[in-house]
Structure 1
Amino acid sequence: MTAVALMWEARAVQGRGPELLAWARAQELPREPVRRELLRAPDDRVLVITWWEAPGLDAELPELPEPDGELVTRPVHRWRFEAVP
């Protein structure tokens, strides 16, 4: 098993960053990650990082969905990272 981090980043419609952050915070996953971090950045961007114990990067893991199209300016960006020693 290895530590896998799933990163989810979205940009809210101008001025709706707090609403996007609240939306991301309220999302429940089918199972709990080892750790979950929420971050915000300028331009109403929200980043969520979930940490999982998994057999590798290709493991099937729960991910946050796309928010309502009226809340964001573009599709969500997603990345997967694997911890290295």
Structure 2
Amino acid sequence: MTIALMWEARAAEGRAEELLAWVSGQRLAEPPLRRETFRAPEDRVLVITWWDADYDAVLPELPEPDGELVTRAVHRWRFESVAGG
């Protein structure tokens, strides 16, 4: 089964590039099958990692950045791949 973990944070004003650099430098305890990093308006940064694992498997996740770097707690979601999608 393929699981996608999504990690999304909103940078403090003027710190989007710093947040992007911070998240790009974060290494996970195990490498995922795939990892992509995105940016969006309002200084948001999104990271999606793909894993070959059961839905409820314990997987390495990106940490919370320093509180001064972001405007709120990180949002996290977990999805499983659906056939035919």
Q: Which TM-score applies when normalising by structure 2?
A: 0.96
Q: Which residue of 2 aligns with 1:52?
A: 51
Shift of 1:3: 0.5
CA RMSD of aligned residues (A): 0.5
Number of paired residues? 83
Q: Following TM superposition, where does structure 1 have runs of at least 4 consecutive aligned residues deviating by more than 3 angstroms? A: none
For structure 1, the residue ranges without an aligned partner over 5 or more in a row are: none
Distance of 1:41 and 1:57 partners within structure 2: 27
Shift of 1:13: 0.3
The one-letter code of the counterpart of 2:69 is L
Q: Which TM-score applies when normalising by structure 1?
A: 0.96
Q: What fraction of aligned residue pairs are identical, expressed as a percent?
A: 70
For structure 2, the residue ranges without an aligned partner over 5 or more in a row are: none
Match of residue 76, structure 2, among 75, 78, 81:
78
Q: 5 Å matches for 1:15-34?
A: 15-34=14-33
